[in-house]
Chains A and B, each alone.
Chain A
Amino acid sequence: MKKLKVGILGSGNIGTDLMYKVERSDLLEMSVMIGIDPLSDGLKRAKNRGYETISTGIEGLAQHLDLVDIVFDATSAYAHQTNSDLLTAAGKKVIDLTPAAIGPFVVPTVNLTEFLDKDNVNMITCGGQATIPIIHTISRIVPVDYAEIVATISSRSAGPGTRANIDEFTSTTSRAIEVVGGAKKGKAIIILNPAEPPIIMRDTIHVLVAEEGHGEEINESIKQMVNAVQAYVPGYSLKADTVFEGKKISVFVEVEGAADYLPAYAGNLDIMTASAVQVANEMARHFLHEKEGIV
């Protein structure tokens, strides 16, 4: 079967983890990793595994656009606009893992099929990918007036980008809780915990719904949603029983990573990269079928 050629922009934790997940796809072919530091661990690993590497950033990639059909951008919000303009002008698909959010927010289990034709889609944040499926599944049963998420991640899994831009996490996630999750108002909180050994990522979702009740239906719907997310993030699970207190519902989720690059505690990294690859897979399926005239 034909595959789409993948470029990964950014050779840090996210870019490197993406490489391992792309390798497992039937529809994607890992082609090139692009960084700006020839000595970075990510570029070294890519080279060792036999892929093309470019250490001169987006300018370097611009000379070799034939190497890619689809590009994951794991650089920074600041760099993303330029990267995206160059790539989409050349007809490439771009999956944005930065908080730039030029393209629509995508959560695979919620709204992926709406955006398969877009040139650029945004993956929100790790906290968004872990919680929006739950908010959305509740909102299908009863209107959600307010939704709030608390993401707790190990200090070791929070890279310098996350730390320098912590407000972007909260503002991007809050917006996506409304736009994709379907809550009238959204709020996001992030907590870093330095405990050793590192804690596994946990996410708590508190919502206020328009009316009490529907407990059984909501529990069943949450269970199905957890299964749906597990299809691409195997370490995604409910950590405790859902708590119903009047109109308030609290759901507790844990995300254990697949330990492709960072260890298993970094579920935050894993859910971002796994979701992005899931999006790329579906885009590839859509694109390849269209090209071959298969409906």
Chain B
Amino acid sequence: MKRDFTILDVSLRDGSHSVRHAFTEEQVRATAKGLNAAGVRYFEVSHGDGLGGSSLQYGFSATDELKLIEVAASECTTSEVAVLLIPGIGTKQDLQNAVKAGAKMVRVATHVTEADVAAQHIQLARELGLKTAGFLMMAHMAPVEKVVEQAKLFESYGAEIVYVTDSAGAMLPQDVTARITALREELRCEIGFHAHNNLSMAMANTIAAVEAGATFIDGSMRALGAGAGNTQTEVMVAVLEKMGYHTGIDLYQLMNTANHVIAPLMQQPQEITGGSLILGHAGVYSSFLLHAQKAAQQYSIDERDILMKLGEMRAVGGQEDLIYEVAQTLAR
């Protein structure tokens, strides 16, 4: 059962949420160097909310993401830098700037039902010669048929990979299996999977995805990512090797970077706490966590109540501004 995968590390993008978008050039340089040495094919560098995400809504980047992309790309000999682009937040111009800074791959992300806003961005990415993926966020919110329909749109625009993205860490392995299997049957392009660990399911879901035919798999070192974080890249490599798969990654080298570069920069442990557990339970976008914690403190209410309410309201990725309104209502 030897098979090739592409492992994509998101520490420098999803992890941006966990460090409140404050990565420094030195941190990015050391991380990039380590990932390149370990043989990780692609790794993502962007604001947590993708290119152009630096804002009052999501938090300003301490260092311009284009500078960070440039620094990361300068350390790559075999690895390549990917970026995230969420249409409505980032633009085609942002993508062109990222390519000038050294990006070789883009993942164009939309809510799971809104793939058609990404047509122009995916087409541009292909014209620019980028490895191009479509990223269906909050994939737990749509039934399998809808995921297939939207994935087909991405494929028709030119995506070479379509991701099932469990942004809320709300899926169980059978949900992952159902979605990846359906995409495998209906699409010709590669299938990817991105997990969050809010229900402690990230590794189990990743295995389910791989066994159902996903060939692009995301992880972050020390699980550095929004909410309870992602599938832990170094653990994933060990598990996949143990299962008999070939990852092509130097485990020791990867662990060294995780423990000596990522661990010291973490602002809080990637634990499953009250808030992050509720993200998975209520199906809420993982990056809401730190914003909800702040609002809970400001209004002296329970962060779990805010997140439960946002789940009930069926908030989608990017709607961090709703947190204030919900907090005010709960405080009354």
Contacts and interface: CB of A to CB of B under 8 A. Distances in A.
Interface of A: 146, 148, 150, 152, 155, 160, 163-167, 169-171, 187, 189-195, 202, 204, 206, 208, 239-241, 243, 248, 250, 252
Given A166-B88, A208-B56, A252-B324, 18 more contacts: A146-B56, A155-B113, A163-B116, A164-B119, A166-B120, A167-B92, A167-B93, A170-B91, A189-B89, A190-B88, A193-B111, A193-B314, A194-B114, A195-B313, A206-B55, A206-B57, A206-B321, A252-B325
B287 to A, nearest CB: 13
B325 A239 contact: yes
Contacts of B119: 164
Given A193-B315, A193-B319, A239-B325, A163 B117 contact: yes
14 contacts: A148-B57, A164-B116, A164-B119, A166-B87, A166-B120, A167-B93, A170-B91, A189-B88, A191-B318, A192-B117, A194-B114, A204-B321, A240-B329, A252-B324
Interface residues of B, number: 29
Contacts of A243: 324
A169 B315 CA distance: 21
B273 interface: no
Given A150-B321, A167-B87, A167-B92, A189 B55 contact: yes
B324 A189 contact: no
Nearest to A168: B91
Contacts of B92: 167
A277 B55 CA distance: 33
Contacts of A241: 328
B88 A170 contact: yes
Nearest to B146: A194
B316 interface: yes
A148 B55 contact: yes
Contacts of A170: 88-89, 91
A192 B321 CA distance: 14
Nearest to B317: A191
B93 to A, nearest CB: 8
Contact of A150 (B57, B114, B120, B316): B57
B57 A204 contact: yes
A191 B113 contact: no
Contacts of A193: 111, 314-316, 319
A243 B323 CA distance: 12
Interface string B101-114: 00000000001011
Nearest to A249: B56
Contacts of A194: 111, 113-114, 316
A167 B96 CA distance: 13
Interface string B76-95: 00000000000111011100
Interface in B286-332: 313-319, 321-322, 324-325, 328-329
Given A148-B56, A206-B57, A239-B325, A171 B91 contact: yes
A213 to B, nearest CB: 19
A163 B321 CA distance: 22
A164 B120 contact: yes
Given A164-B120, A190-B88, A155 B328 contact: no
Nearest to A241: B328
A192 to B, nearest CB: 5
A98 B114 CA distance: 22
B256 to A, nearest CB: 38
B325 to A, nearest CB: 4
Nearest to A149: B57
Contacts of A190: 88
Given A240-B324, A252-B321, A252-B325, A191 B56 contact: no
A187 B55 contact: yes
Interface string B42-76: 00000000000001110000000000000000000
A244 B10 CA distance: 34
A33 B317 CA distance: 39
A79 B55 CA distance: 33
B58 to A, nearest CB: 9
A-B CB proximity, top 4 nearest? A204-B321, A206-B56, A195-B314, A240-B325
B129 to A, nearest CB: 20
A192 B114 CA distance: 8
**Which of B56, B119, B316 counts the most A-chain CB atoms under 10 A from its CB?**
B56
**Which of A155, A167, A243, A248 counts the most B-chain CB atoms under 10 A from its CB?**
A167
Given A166-B88, A167-B87, A191-B88, A250 B321 contact: yes
A160 B328 CA distance: 35
Interface in B113-170: 113-114, 116-117, 119-120
